[in-house]
Structure 1
Amino acid sequence: MLRKMILHYTSSFSGLSREVWWLALITLINRAGAMVIPFLSLYLKDSLGFEVSQVGWIMTSFGLGSFFGSWIGGKLSDLIGYYKVILGSLILSGISFICIQYIHSFWGICIAFFILISIADAARPAFFVALSAYSKPENKTRSLTFIRLAINLGFTAGPALGGLIIAIVGYNGLFWVDGVTCVLAGLVMIKTLNPKKARISDQEKVIANPLPAHKDGLYVIFLLSLAIFGFIFVQYFSTIPLYYKEVHKLSEKSIGLLLAMNGFIIFIFEMPLIAYLEKTSISKLGNVIVGFVLTGLSFLLLLITPWSGILIIGMILATLGEMVAFPFGNSFALERSKRGRQGAYMGLYSMAFSLAHIFGHNSGMQFIATYGYDKNWLFMALMAVIGMGLLYYVKWKAVRLDTRML
Structure 2
Amino acid sequence: MKTLFNNYVNTFKGLSTEVWWLALITLINRAGTMVIPFLSLYLTKSLNFSVSDVGWIMSAFGLGSVVGSWLGGRLTDQIGYYKVMVFSLLSTGILFIALQFLTTFTSFCIGIFLVMTVADSFRPAMFVAMSAYSKPENKTRSVTLIRLAINLGFSAGPAVGGLIITGLGYSGLFWVDGITCIAATLVLVNVLNPKSTKILDKVKTKNPKSAYGDKAFIIFLFAMMLFGIVFLQYFSTMPIYYNEAHYLSEIEIGLLLGMNGFIIFAFEMPLIKWLENTTFTKSGLMLFGAILTGLSFLILNFTSWVGVLVIGMLLMTFGEMIAFPFSNAFAMDRAKKGNQGEYMALYSISFSIAHIFGHNMGLQMTNQLGFENTWFVITGLAALCVFLLFGLRQYLNGKKKRKAILIEEEETEILWI
Per the normalisation by structure 2, the TM-score is 0.87
Return the alpha-carbon distance in structure 1 between the equivalents of residues 257 and 292 of structure 2: 17
Compute the displacement of 1:135 (Å): 0.8
Compute the displacement of 1:388 (Å): 1.8
1:27 and 2:20 matched: no
2:387 corresponding residue in structure 1: 389
- How big is each residue's C-alpha offset from its partner over 1:307-336, in whole Å with a ceiling of 9 and x where there is no partner? 444433332222111100011001100111
Counterpart contact for 1:93–1:119, Cα < 8 Å:
yes
1:17 corresponding residue in structure 2: 16
Q: State the identity %.
A: 57
**Residue aligned with 1:339, SS:** coil
Q: CA distance change for structure 1 residues 166 and 305 in 2, over 3 Å: closer, same or farther?
A: closer
Counterpart contact for 2:162–2:251, Cα < 8 Å:
no
Counterpart contact for 1:94–1:182, Cα < 8 Å:
yes
One-letter amino acid of the counterpart of residue 318, structure 2: L
Q: CA distance change for structure 1 residues 371 and 48 in 2, over 3 Å: closer, same or farther?
A: closer
Return the alpha-carbon distance in structure 2 between the equivalents of residues 231 and 71 of structure 1: 19
Q: CA distance change for structure 1 residues 224 and 253 in 2, over 3 Å: closer, same or farther?
A: same
**Residue aligned with 2:323, SS:** helix
2:257 corresponding residue in structure 1: 259
Counterpart contact for 1:34–1:178, Cα < 8 Å:
yes
Q: What is the CA RMSD across the aligned residues, in angstroms?
A: 2.7
One-letter amino acid of the counterpart of residue 393, structure 2: K
Q: CA distance change for structure 1 residues 147 and 116 in 2, over 3 Å: closer, same or farther?
A: same
Unpaired runs of 5+ in structure 2? 402-417
Return the alpha-carbon distance in structure 2 between the equivalents of residues 67 and 182 of structure 1: 20
1:94 and 2:93 matched: yes
Counterpart contact for 2:219–2:388, Cα < 8 Å:
yes
Per the normalisation by structure 1, the TM-score is 0.89
Return the alpha-carbon distance in structure 2 between the equivalents of residues 169 and 256 of structure 1: 16
Return the alpha-carbon distance in structure 2 between the equivalents of residues 316 and 168 of structure 1: 29
Return the alpha-carbon distance in structure 1 between the equivalents of residues 181 and 174 of structure 2: 11
- How big is each residue's C-alpha offset from its partner over 1:222-272, in whole Å with a ceiling of 9 and x where there is no partner? 010011111112223334444445555656555444333222211211111
Q: CA distance change for structure 1 residues 125 and 23 in 2, over 3 Å: closer, same or farther?
A: same
1:367 and 2:359 matched: no
Q: CA distance change for structure 1 residues 368 and 172 in 2, over 3 Å: closer, same or farther?
A: closer
Bigger shift: 7-16 or 171-180? 171-180
Counterpart contact for 2:37–2:236, Cα < 8 Å:
no
Q: CA distance change for structure 1 residues 31 and 11 in 2, over 3 Å: closer, same or farther?
A: same
- How big is each residue's C-alpha offset from its partner over 1:152-193, in whole Å with a ceiling of 9 and x where there is no partner? 111222344445555666555544443332222112111111
1:81 and 2:60 matched: no
One-letter amino acid of the counterpart of residue 380, structure 2: L
1:343 corresponding residue in structure 2: 341
Compute the displacement of 1:276 (Å): 0.7
**Residue aligned with 1:72, SS:** helix
2:190 corresponding residue in structure 1: 191
Counterpart contact for 1:213–1:219, Cα < 8 Å:
yes
1:213 to 187, 211, 214: 211
Q: CA distance change for structure 1 residues 50 and 372 in 2, over 3 Å: closer, same or farther?
A: closer
The number of equivalent residue pairs is 401
Runs of 4+ in 1 over 6 A off after TM superposition: none
Residue correspondence of structure 1 range 19-168 to structure 2 within 5 A: 19-44=18-43, 50=49, 53-163=52-162, 165=164
Counterpart contact for 2:156–2:258, Cα < 8 Å:
no
1:178 and 2:174 matched: no
One-letter amino acid of the counterpart of residue 230, structure 1: G
**Residue aligned with 2:400, SS:** coil
Return the alpha-carbon distance in structure 2 between the equivalents of residues 377 and 103 of structure 1: 32
One-letter amino acid of the counterpart of residue 259, structure 2: M
Bigger shift: 367-376 or 59-68? 367-376
Unpaired runs of 5+ in structure 1? none
1:4 corresponding residue in structure 2: 3
Q: CA distance change for structure 1 residues 184 and 372 in 2, over 3 Å: closer, same or farther?
A: closer
**Residue aligned with 2:336, SS:** helix
Counterpart contact for 1:78–1:341, Cα < 8 Å:
yes
**Residue aligned with 2:72, SS:** helix
Return the alpha-carbon distance in structure 1 between the equivalents of residues 66 and 39 of structure 2: 19
Return the alpha-carbon distance in structure 2 between the equivalents of residues 329 and 8 of structure 1: 25
Compute the displacement of 1:287 (Å): 0.8
**Residue aligned with 1:201, SS:** coil
Compute the displacement of 1:344 (Å): 1.0
1:311 to 309, 312, 318: 309
One-letter amino acid of the counterpart of residue 94, structure 1: G
Q: CA distance change for structure 1 residues 5 and 304 in 2, over 3 Å: closer, same or farther?
A: same
Bigger shift: 169-178 or 353-362? 169-178
2:324 corresponding residue in structure 1: 326
Bigger shift: 372-381 or 159-168? 159-168
2:377 to 372, 379, 395: 379
Residue correspondence of structure 1 range 205-284 to structure 2 within 5 A: 205-247=203-245, 254-284=252-282
Return the alpha-carbon distance in structure 2 between the equivalents of residues 233 and 35 of structure 1: 17
Return the alpha-carbon distance in structure 1 between the equivalents of residues 244 and 171 of structure 2: 33
Q: CA distance change for structure 1 residues 242 and 43 in 2, over 3 Å: closer, same or farther?
A: closer
Compute the displacement of 1:89 (Å): 0.6
